[in-house]
Structures are given as C-alpha cells and as structure tokens.
Amino acid sequence: MGNDQNSNSYSRKEFLKRVGVGAAGITLGLSAKSYSNILGANDRVNFGIIGLHGRGQAHMSSVHGAPNCNIQYLCDVDSRVLSDAASKAREMTGSTVKTEGDVRKLVEKKDVDAISIATPDHWHTPMALLGVNAGKHVYVEKPCSHNPQEGEWLVQAQKKYSNLVMQMGDQQRSAPTSIAAVQDIRDGLIGRPYFGKAWYSNKRGPIGTGKHVPVPEWLDWELWQGPAVHEKYEDIWVHYNWHWFWNWGTGEINNNGIHELDFCRWALNAEYPTKVTSTGGRYQYHDDWQFYDTQVASYEFGDDKMITWEGKSCNPFQYHGRGRGATIHGTKGTILADRNGYIAYDLDNNVIKERKEGHENATSTSNTIGGGNLSVLHFHNFAQSIRGIEKPHSPMKEAHKSNLLCHYGNIAQEKGRMLNIDQSDGKIKDDPDAMKMWSREYEEGWKPTV
C-alpha cells in the first residue's frame, strides 16, 4: 500500500466536500469502489477479516463502506460461517473474496495490509500479536485483552512496532457527537465533571447445562481454542455462550460495559483509578454461566472523580429510555450520551444543548453484530491512520486503560474486596492473591510473544 501524503490530504478534502460533511464527518453513502476513483489504488488498504459469525459481519460492511478499503481475505474456523460470509462478501462487493481457515497462514499473506479481529476474546491479543509480528496493521475488537497482562503486551507491541497502526473497536470514539460532547465538557459546558454513570440492560435467557458431544465436522475445535487451555467440547459454548466462561470470555462488563466505561473515562479525562469495588452475582438463572448477570462496579479516581457501571444482563429495564448509555455529571449540569447523540442539561434539568448523529447506529442491546455508521467511521479513522493522515481514535495505550476498568471490576467481584491501584503502572497494590488474576494459563506452545 502506497502513502503519498500530499495527494491523500487533497483527496480527503475532495471526499469530504463531495459528501458534504466536516472533518469529523459521516462517510456512509460513498462506497469504497467510488472512493478509489479519487485515491490511487496504491492507497487502498487490503483487509483480512477474522471471525465472521457475529461482529465480523459488521467488520465486512464497515470495510466495504470505508473509503478505499478492500475485503481481501475472510477467515474463520467454522467452514459453514466462512462459506456464508464469502457469499455475502461476493454480493456486497461484486467480486470473489479469498478465504483462509487458519489465521497463522492469513497473517503471512503478502496481499494483506491489515487484519481485523472479531473472534472470541481469548484470541484477541494473541491474534493481534501474530498480526504485528507479521508486519500487519491491526484492528482488534473490544475487549482488546482477555486479561491485564495481555493489555500490557499490546502496549509494548505498539511501542515496538511504531510503524504499524493498532486500534481497538470501541467505535463510539469515532462518533462525531461523542467527540463534540467531550469537547463541550472540556470547554466547561457542565462545569467541572466529577461523576460518570454507565449502564447496560438486556434480556438474555438461560444457557442451560452443557453436555460433552462430538465436535461438529464444520468446526476446527483445536484452532478455535488456540491459546486457551484446551477442553473437551460441550454443546453450549459455540458460537456465543463462550462469553460467560472464564477460559474464553470476559463477562458482560468486557463484552458491553467497556463501551460506556470508556466514554466516561474519556469524558472525565481520567487515567488509572485509585480504588475499585464490585458487587453482584449470577442472580437470574442457575445454569453453567460462570460470570455475573448483575454487577455494579465503582471506580474512584483520587478524591474528585468517580465512575460506576451497572450491568443487568437478564433484566431489560432502561434508564432515560435507553438500554445502554452514560451520564456525565458536573458542577453546572449533566450530559446524557449514547451512540446516537447527546443532550446537555443545566442544574435545573433544562435542556441547554442537544446534538444527534446524522445516521442511526446500532444501540439495541439484543443486537450481537452492532453495525452502523460509527463502525464505518472507526474503520475509516483506522485506514486514514495507516495512510498517515489521521491518528487512531483508540490507540492501544488508551484502549488498555479502559479495558483495565473492566478487568478490575471482574477481579474485585471475584475476590469480594476493594482493590487499591498503583497510579504509576495500573497494577493492583498490596494484594498478591488478586494479582494472580493479572494473567492467565495458556495451552502449551500457544503463549503469545511480543
């Protein structure tokens, strides 16, 4: 992929002019194919998209919708999913897309510039490291890490491979209205911000009790497990319920809470917390689900800021008419924000400012794909960063800090006590037992390396 700074800068202005938006503008509506008429083919970013059952479908439509980006390869360990995705990509792009079942082979492809990762959580960091070690730019879905140690590895990798772009898929960071809301907060619209409240409500059903059954012929179970400690196959794990098992998933706080926790930390301009507590449990059903369906995690940042996250996986009651969102409270007012805009209130609860996104984005808590314009914008920012035109909206250093909030919440919940955090490096202080959860055990021969 080429990188002519001057021609790219001019072309982007032309692109923005054609779609009639500003620098933080909406890119939906102009296909990658039409944008290639503006930018030279040497500036096209060729993607290998990995993990196609759920969120990976949004990656496909986002890469196709982002200017001058191309779906070069699709990769999945489920042969049915891979075949179906290839058919969808052919309908989407009008051409045949290459396929590969093994990510280790995919990252060696010379005609791939970047990989996007939408696999189960236990593969996120190992796959990202495979990518950068092979010279590929990496877009990795949230959570970027399965445990805190992996997040530290990603930050180290970004420093080591400073010529490569790494971005986490917290797409609200690319939302024009969220960017504007944070700027309003910086400019003093609600005074000094001191409290962020984030929430998530869903109506998930029971997952039942797993049974050992033969591995389906369409699934490469060994490769699906990869770096995780290998277990005998059970019928309730693939493709979604792995989220609720420690060996592969990271619970609802990492699955969904990370988005709003990230917005709160961003809005409050907070770094590492000083104290973390968490309460909750698996209350709604009695089944094999290992994490918590109800959780309230609280984070103190010194003596002048705090954030809470309330997760209700199995009760859909909404706040402010929203199944997910965040409020930022300050000395002069409050901002209510989600993926489709924000509303600012004064201390008398009068609306003083409101702004909506130009396109609706996926906010339904029952939507496991999460498509929408924000994903296109986030991929566009990633591609523009590869071209040297923009900077990543969610680089690994910032992504890791937000991801840590989720890991802290799970550790505090599991240990049943408050965590004290070291401000110099984010590690848990004076609690060796809690620090045992800082990393994980890997299947022999699969431990990632930076």
Residue 33 lies in a domain: yes
CATH number at residue 424: 3.30.360.10
Residue 381 lies in a domain: no
Residue 447 lies in a domain: no
pLDDT, residue 368, reads 58
pLDDT exceeds 70 at position 17: no
Q: What percent of the chain has pLDDT over 70?
A: 88
Residue 421 lies in a domain: yes
Residue 446 lies in a domain: no
pLDDT, residue 405, reads 98
pLDDT, residue 367, reads 57
As a whole number, mean pLDDT of residues 82-95 equals 96
pLDDT, residue 37, reads 32
Residue 382 lies in a domain: no
Q: Express each pLDDT in 95-151 by its tens digit.
A: 999 999 999 999 999 999 999 999 999 999 999 999 999 999 999 999 999 999 999
pLDDT, residue 372, reads 77
Tally of structural domains, the chain: 2
Q: Express each pLDDT in 273-323 by its tens digit.
A: 999 999 999 999 999 999 999 999 999 999 999 999 999 999 999 999 999
Say if residue 100 is in the same domain as residue 236. Answer: no
Q: Which residue is it, tokens 């690994």?
A: 396
Structural domain containing residue 149 = 5-171
Say if residue 195 is in the same domain as residue 150. Answer: no
pLDDT exceeds 50 at position 22: no
Say if residue 275 is in the same domain as residue 406. Answer: yes
pLDDT, residue 39, reads 38
Say if residue 142 is in the same domain as residue 187. Answer: no
Say if residue 196 is in the same domain as residue 49. Answer: no
Say if residue 267 is in the same domain as residue 410. Answer: yes
Say if residue 11 is in the same domain as residue 140. Answer: yes
Say if residue 164 is in the same domain as residue 228. Answer: no
The answer, as to whether pTM is greater than 0.75, is yes
Residue 383 lies in a domain: no
pLDDT exceeds 50 at position 38: no
pLDDT exceeds 70 at position 247: yes
pLDDT, residue 370, reads 62
pLDDT confidence bin for 259, thresholds 50/70/90: very high
Residue 109 lies in a domain: yes
